[in-house]
Amino acid sequence: MKITHIFWNLRFGGIETMLINLANAQIKEKAQVSIIIINKFCEETLIQSLDKRISIYILGRTDGSIDFRFIIKLNRLLKQIQPDVIHLHRSDIASILNPQFLPKTCVTLHALPKGEIKPQNILKLLWNKILRKPKPYSNMTYINHIPYIFSISRSVKEELEKQYNIESSVIYNGIETKQFRTKESDIHNTPLRIVMVSRLEHDKKGQDLLIKAASQLQGKVTVDFIGTGSSLEYLKQLVHQLHCEESVKFLGKQDQRYISSHLADYDLFVQPSRWEGFGLTVAEALAAQIPVIASEGQGPAEVICGNKYGWIFENGNVEDLTNKIEYILNHYHEAIEKAKLGKDYVYENFDIHSTANAYLNAYKSIINTQSNHA
């Protein structure tokens, strides 16, 4: 089976981590796997983490460029590879594929659905580029032209049906569970060491909520943020305004090897997202046997099964988040017991090899459908 994955960039992020892990797991299952990255920006450490049997093609487009020659390159390359299945990791890529490839194309919706389905007219897109007008966010562009759609959680599937009346199949994201060092002690540090691993986009990820909670618990907790993003300066200013510079640190981007080795150094993982489709890092935290707090009504709460394997707080509510952190401070043995159960649950349900096999079975259905229509 020949599989080609396509995405825009190869930066440090949830989609990119998932793509690398999935491709590596699929090659171990004897599939022929290739990856096409459209833009030129690629983290070298991510490329190095790919199995050497995977073919990677970087088209070299400059992000935001109005030079459309990359579209010709992409379709020529697909014609050369002749994959059995094309797996997109953003739906808007479908709008630049030759229509002959669409019947064997699938897409994974990696976040809660948002935005318009209809792509911009090419002339309008060019004009907006010239005027430097920001493009409205959408992870739904052209999705109604893609015959096979996968959602990374029930939350994403239900929202897709509710808002867009589009059906999809759920295949949970997966992680390399055995790579994560496990927290061994059921005694927390003093102060309690909290970590969050995510892009610094506070409107979506909610880092500001955690900073405000930390400011109310000064002396009792420290917070490390791992990741980079557009909110860095805003969050640094917030830390300064709340006078909690000693409690809150920004560690920048770190690769998967660092995260799998160091999560177990912390006492608590917090994912305060206002809007999140799955929460790969929550599964990683449980794999490291760290207690977890997540916001309600989002993908991360689904990963920890509500309060079964962690704690959930009211989305956007700083006081509730603060209270949950303080509860864990005072009941840490209970928190570790939940985390132990959560680790077993993650090993059984979110291992990347289970994810890879689920996709391979789905690909077989796609191929069989094409054969029947041939």
> Where along the chain do its domains lie?
2-174+351-373, 177-349
Nearest Cα to Cα of residue 329 among 222, 257, 227, 249: 222
- Report which secondary-structure segment, H or E, holds 44: helix 44-48
In the prediction, which pLDDT does 246 show? 94
CB-based contact 58:42 (threshold 8 Å): yes
What does the pLDDT look like over 37-83, one tens digit per residue? 999 989 898 999 999 999 999 999 988 777 788 999 999 999 999 99
In the prediction, which pLDDT does 255 show? 86
- Is residue 282 pLDDT above 80, yes or no? yes
Mean pLDDT value of segment 312-335: 97
User: Could you tell me the pLDDT band of residue 372, with boundaries at 50, 70 and 90?
Assistant: confident
In the prediction, which pLDDT does 138 show? 85
Q: What percent of the chain has pLDDT over 90?
A: 80
- Is residue 103 pLDDT above 60, yes or no? yes
| Local structure of residue 306 (DSSP, 8 states) | T
What does the pLDDT look like over 149-202, one tens digit per residue? 999 999 899 999 999 999 999 999 999 999 999 998 888 999 999 999 999 999
In the prediction, which pLDDT does 225 show? 98
User: Could you tell me the pLDDT band of residue 212, with boundaries at 50, 70 and 90?
Assistant: very high
CATH fold label, 2-174+351-373 = Rossmann fold (3.40.50)
In the prediction, which pLDDT does 233 show? 97
Q: What are the strands, taking DSSP E only, across 40-133? A: 55-61, 85-88, 105-109
In the prediction, which pLDDT does 307 show? 95
In the prediction, which pLDDT does 160 show? 95
- Is residue 122 pLDDT above 60, yes or no? no
In the prediction, which pLDDT does 124 show? 59
Predicted TM-score (pTM) of this structure = 0.85
What does the pLDDT look like over 123-155, one tens digit per residue? 555 556 555 666 677 889 999 999 999 999 998
Mean pLDDT value of segment 253-273: 94
Quickly count helices (H) and strands (E) in the chain.
Answer: 14, 13
CB-based contact 264:292 (threshold 8 Å): no
Nearest Cα to Cα of residue 136 among 158, 162, 114: 114
Q: Do the first three CATH levels of 2-174+351-373 and 177-349 match, i.e. the same topology?
A: yes
Phi, psi of 88 (to 5 degrees): -90, 150
User: Could you tell me the pLDDT band of residue 323, with boundaries at 50, 70 and 90?
Assistant: very high
Higher pLDDT, residue 129 or 96:
96
In the prediction, which pLDDT does 60 show? 93
CATH fold label, 177-349 = Rossmann fold (3.40.50)
User: Could you tell me the pLDDT band of residue 346, with boundaries at 50, 70 and 90?
Assistant: very high
Nearest Cα to Cα of residue 111 among 136, 146, 88, 140: 140
